[in-house]
Structure 1
Amino acid sequence: MATSAALGPATEVELPGGRISYHETGEGAPVVFVHGLLVNADLWRKVVPAIASAGYRCITPDWPLGSHTIPMPGADLTPAGVADLVADFLDRLDLRDVTVVANDTGGAITQILMTRRPSRLGRVVLASVDSYEGFLPQPFAALGWIARIPGSIRPLIAPMRIRALQRTPLGFGLVAKRPVPPEIADSYLLPSRRSGAIRKDLRRFLKSARNHYTLAAAAHFAEVKTPVLLAWASEDKIFPRSYAERLAGDLPDATLRMIDDSYTFLPEDQPELLAEAIVEFTRLHGTP
């Protein structure tokens, strides 16, 4: 479970696929956050306070992507299944006209959501995300094949207990320009190191993470009516600017905003600029 007090108190909700934990703070129009692989709601700890203080209800779930603490053995953890889980969450909390903010793998899931079950979406922020052929992106595409080997996840994750490795390309070095604080790295990495059930969930997602899901979503982009902000890291080492420009060209109502001095983890590297972009976008497209 995410640990940052800045996210607000934690609670749990029962969904068709199982229980998930989420944090909530602030009042006003809802903003729901979708993190990526091997992180949890703590990714948003430096973004949420600014958005909540601007008059929004910020809801940050721990999605079952390897850093969650409540196993979901009965859930469909394919990318489409996780997108449905997000939609079920919005339904269960009866959230309407929602701003969904996604980063990294969470962006692939959100693109599927946009083209599969968009009825509760009011606007979407895709902050440096997987898309098209780049799901999973290089050099992480091999994880999908490795996950097919029984017992492969534990030895893959075990070396990350070494702090120095966490700052290298084997850890967060390609996605975070600045070091991830040790307590946050523990929040991300300990669940899968400590729990075989969490590793099974992670393995099920990785085994199914193929770009046919994002390419299928892209085939329906012309039908998307939701305004989309593409907040993109100008120094991203995983998702080049060309990905953002392609999305901007294919989505009917998309705006591209480049953010300097950051890698993929914009919420870690440039939380103030990302929060500012989110608030400006939500106000421009229909919420106060």
Structure 2
Amino acid sequence: MVDHDAWTDQQSATTVTVDGHDLEVAFHEDGSNETEEPPVVFVHGIPTWSFLWRDVVPDVAEGRRTIAPDMLGYGNSAMSDDFDRSIRAQEKMLEELLDDLNVERIALVGHDIGGGVALRFAAHNPDVVERLVLSNAVCYDSWPVEFVSNLGLPSTADVEREELEGRLDSAFVDGAYGEADPEFVAGMKAPWLTDEGHVSLVRNAIATNTNHTTEIDYGAITAETLLLWGEDDVMQPYAYAERLADDIGNTELAPLSNAYHWVPEDRPDAYADRLREFLTDGLA
């Protein structure tokens, strides 16, 4: 298990062009480049960053190359106050990043709004995504939740650091099953506790746009799809996983009990085991 400073030290960075802006993307890479299997790409949500996958990536990287970017405006990626951070823009970021890394085929794993990015990318690039894993993902009109909507209020940009930290503490503690790991909470909060990070978080929340998931043609997704979902989540309830299963072909429901919204953190061992099984064997 690594802390957030060690995770940051292991990241690389590259520059992508999105909507005419040249923007730095930080990404964590692990595993072997020599395997014939496509790399596994992990996309986080809000208000997290790639550190969300800290207990999952090492297990997967034992047999596969892994790539876990920080979305634009998140983590250690660009945070300047002059670009779009919507999931439409994050989809473009992902396209540009994969092109920069010369990656042509992937298995794609998405959580929260990263799941919305993954859904858009899989629908628009069926020749690229071989397997798709969605965990408590935004979809249809399931979002934004109240916490994120409140972060996007103009007044949030003016709150004191202590108040912002308290709001984040509540989000990570309330979204966890049982007692949240203090190391996880500290790592998730870290990018937002600077002046630039504070403003970036507000901009990220403002950029949430339900139109970007209601307009998806879910039937265009051809990848084998696993809905690896925290069963007890109230922010992105399991009923949305069931709806996705009806609309996407070649899909399997895989509920994880005793898991709320931060399912890779709540059940990391079970999550990694089921993910590796799916990556190796496909749908049951």
Assess same fold via TM > 0.5: yes
Structure 2 residue matching 1:95: 3-state secondary structure: coil
Structure 1 residue matching 2:4: 3-state secondary structure: coil
Does residue 31 of structure 2 align to residue 26 of structure 1?
Answer: yes
The farther-off stretch of 95-104 and 65-74 is: 65-74
8 Å Cα contact 2:84-2:207 kept in structure 1: no
8 Å Cα contact 1:77-1:201 kept in structure 2: no
CA distance in 2, matches of 1:47, 1:224: 25
8 Å Cα contact 2:44-2:111 kept in structure 1: yes
Q: Quick one: structure 1 residues 283 and 15, their matched pair in 2 at CA, closer, same or farther if it must change by over 3 Å? A: same
Structure 2 equivalent of residue 99 of structure 1: 107
Identity of aligned residues (%): 24
Does residue 46 of structure 2 align to residue 40 of structure 1?
Answer: no
Q: Per-residue deviation at 1:142?
A: 2.7
Structure 1 equivalent of residue 116 of structure 2: 108
Structure 2 equivalent of residue 267 of structure 1: 264
1:16-95 superposed matches below 5 A: 16-17=17-18, 18-27=23-32, 28=35, 29=37, 30-53=39-62, 55-68=63-76, 70-95=78-103
CA distance in 1, matches of 2:72, 2:184: 17
Structure 2 equivalent of residue 209 of structure 1: 208
8 Å Cα contact 1:67-1:189 kept in structure 2: no
Unaligned runs of 5+ in 2: none
The farther-off stretch of 235-244 and 64-73 is: 64-73
Structure 2 equivalent of residue 187 of structure 1: 187
1:59-96: per-residue Cα shift (whole Å, max 9, x none)? 12122354445424454322201111112111111112
8 Å Cα contact 1:64-1:201 kept in structure 2: no
Structure 1 equivalent of residue 13 of structure 2: 12
> Normalization by structure 1: what TM-score?
0.85
Structure 1 equivalent of residue 165 of structure 2: 161
Structure 2 equivalent of residue 147 of structure 1: 152
> Normalization by structure 2: what TM-score?
0.86
Q: Quick one: structure 1 residues 121 and 174, their matched pair in 2 at CA, closer, same or farther if it must change by over 3 Å? A: same
Q: Quick one: structure 1 residues 113 and 154, their matched pair in 2 at CA, closer, same or farther if it must change by over 3 Å? A: farther
Structure 1 residue matching 2:215: 3-state secondary structure: helix
1:219-263: per-residue Cα shift (whole Å, max 9, x none)? x11121111110011211222221110000000121110111111
1:114-263 superposed matches below 5 A: 114-137=122-145, 139-140=146-147, 142-143=149-150, 147-149=152-154, 152-155=156-159, 158-162=162-166, 170-196=170-196, 198-217=197-216, 220-263=217-260
CA distance in 2, matches of 1:124, 1:247: 12
Q: Quick one: structure 1 residues 227 and 65, their matched pair in 2 at CA, closer, same or farther if it must change by over 3 Å? A: farther
Q: Report the AA paired with residue 3 of structure 1.
A: H
Q: Quick one: structure 1 residues 140 and 148, their matched pair in 2 at CA, closer, same or farther if it must change by over 3 Å? A: closer
Q: Per-residue deviation at 1:128?
A: 1.3
CA distance in 1, matches of 2:200, 2:7: 27
Q: Per-residue deviation at 1:47?
A: 0.6
RMSD across aligned C-alpha pairs, in angstroms? Answer: 2.5
8 Å Cα contact 1:166-1:172 kept in structure 2: yes
